[in-house]
Structure 1
């Protein structure tokens, strides 16, 4: 399993789970979500990384929610890690954010639109933290080997993960090409399937991204069946009230039953 500090259940045969809210909206909400997911993943022996963006830089409209303040959100992520003994992951958007975020989290995530940004990848690698690179919606899985090379050549000790989140399909939809999972696994790095962002419906006329959350389980089952190492799921107690990406998030009260079913799928293919 991944060499990430504080990662629980490293010898578990189960898939890795990255899960949490799209954005850090406040301390109490983050801790409440983390506590519920930790309880579930401990019982199911699923290695878990708490996910939360400290800032949302890629928004459709100028007045869209971007965050509660960088330092405030990063300190909440740090508190989640310290409270529950779990690693955390957050996005970075500019090279100078890498060192700042690395003081608080265990995994630095490169957004899909930025996966070709050499300086950003190098800055993340230079911190020595694990780097999770989202595959661009405009790229094949095979082309992601260059992102891996940029990180590994900058810092061979930095763990690398790749995450698929679908490919652009026309102007307002995405489609998942499951050939990308084995292609990216051939680079000898763990591959994660983003089961929520891959169901986005971007570029809507309203300026608010849509989604198809009813298909989260379908994407997750298919990804496990073709050998993904982990799943990425954004979840919220009430997605309709979420300040970011609520249209494609999984209601938190549905997560436990979903993971139980996914564990059985995983066990069936081992």
Structure 2
């Protein structure tokens, strides 16, 4: 694992935003290492602080037979190997309080899924590990409501919090991003991230498989950087069409470099 200071993410020496990126789920060691190596190469060249993202288990699935993971310990050990091999922090989701200590033994950042951001026991368990806690804003909550999630982590003795927006519910099968929420959550004194790819999901499809609008990834990312987001969250894969989870809204790995170059230019223009 990598020890890193949260303030360095918000106030990077390069002046860039930071990036949380990787596959939706850990599908296997070879592909995780390949994705990580590519992103590390890009972010090192572009001086973008990077946190590798991968879910060791997917607990929130529409259908009972959807892919959920390759095994908790196996996936967590892959995340640990990515961190040690490339010298980068790693982040993964947890879903129940009992998972906090287990995941904390392998990764640097514990992520609270959007649907679980009000679960007090889960937030407290994550906080008590001493790890950075990334809380995703619920699709059903206002930005202002996330103050209470921050308070719960703080009151448990942990001041290392990130908030991540991932859009708001807009009808039954779509999400919309309210960019007013980014500066509002920044007013709480924590780094704020825009989850670009999940904001483009189209949930609750009749097929039982979540859809998406990946053609709008650049649009959402550009707007977030222009507004002043501290970081971006982007799920990426070398073959999204065959990814085992959330392929419909992921960015093709080959497109990441050109996107980041454009975003850096916007960042420099607005800072």
TM-score scaled by length of structure 2: 0.96
* Superimposed CA distance per residue, residues 176-212 of structure 1 (whole angstroms, 9 cap, x where no aligned partner): 0001000000000000000000000000000000000
Deviation for aligned residue 1:11: 2.0
Q: Which runs of 5+ in 1 are unaligned?
A: none
- Whether 2:49 is the aligned partner of 1:47: answer yes
**Within 2, Cα distance between the matches of 1:183 and 1:93?**
26
* Superimposed CA distance per residue, residues 51-91 of structure 1 (whole angstroms, 9 cap, x where no aligned partner): 00000000000000000000000000000000000000000
Pick the aligned partner of 2:79 from 57, 77, 85: 77
- Whether 2:258 is the aligned partner of 1:257: answer yes
* Superimposed CA distance per residue, residues 160-180 of structure 1 (whole angstroms, 9 cap, x where no aligned partner): 000000000000000000010
Deviation for aligned residue 1:6: 10
What residue is the counterpart of 1:187 in the other structure? 188
Give 1:98-113 correspondences, 5 Å limit: 98-113=100-115
**Within 2, Cα distance between the matches of 1:11 and 1:118?**
35
DSSP 3-state at the match of 1:17: strand
CA contact (8 A) 1:5 1:87 kept: no
What residue is the counterpart of 1:239 in the other structure? 240
Give 1:70-219 correspondences, 5 Å limit: 70-156=72-158, 158-219=159-220
**Within 2, Cα distance between the matches of 1:6 and 1:127?**
20
Q: Which aligned segments of 4 or more residues in structure 1 are displaced greater than 6 angstroms? A: none
**Within 1, Cα distance between the matches of 2:107 and 2:91?**
6
TM-score scaled by length of structure 1: 0.97
DSSP 3-state at the match of 1:192: strand
Deviation for aligned residue 1:155: 1.4
**Within 1, Cα distance between the matches of 2:202 and 2:12?**
35
What residue is the counterpart of 1:12 in the other structure? 14
CA contact (8 A) 1:167 1:174 kept: yes
**Within 1, Cα distance between the matches of 2:230 and 2:265?**
15
* Superimposed CA distance per residue, residues 121-141 of structure 1 (whole angstroms, 9 cap, x where no aligned partner): 000000000000000000010
**Within 1, Cα distance between the matches of 2:35 and 2:263?**
20
DSSP 3-state at the match of 2:15: coil
**Within 2, Cα distance between the matches of 1:194 and 1:186?**
18
Deviation for aligned residue 1:5: 11
- Whether 2:245 is the aligned partner of 1:227: answer no
Aligned residues: 267
- Whether 2:23 is the aligned partner of 1:3: answer no
- Structure 1 residues 161 and 5: alpha-carbon distance in aligned structure 2, compared to 1, 3 A threshold: closer
Q: Which runs of 5+ in 2 are unaligned?
A: none
**Within 2, Cα distance between the matches of 1:25 and 1:122?**
29
- Whether 2:28 is the aligned partner of 1:26: answer yes
* Superimposed CA distance per residue, residues 215-265 of structure 1 (whole angstroms, 9 cap, x where no aligned partner): 000000000111100000000000000000000000000000100000000
**Within 2, Cα distance between the matches of 1:227 and 1:37?**
22
Deviation for aligned residue 1:12: 2.4
**Within 2, Cα distance between the matches of 1:266 and 1:230?**
11
Q: CA RMSD in A?
A: 1.4
What residue is the counterpart of 1:63 in the other structure? 65
**Within 1, Cα distance between the matches of 2:161 and 2:255?**
30
**Within 1, Cα distance between the matches of 2:6 and 2:13?**
13
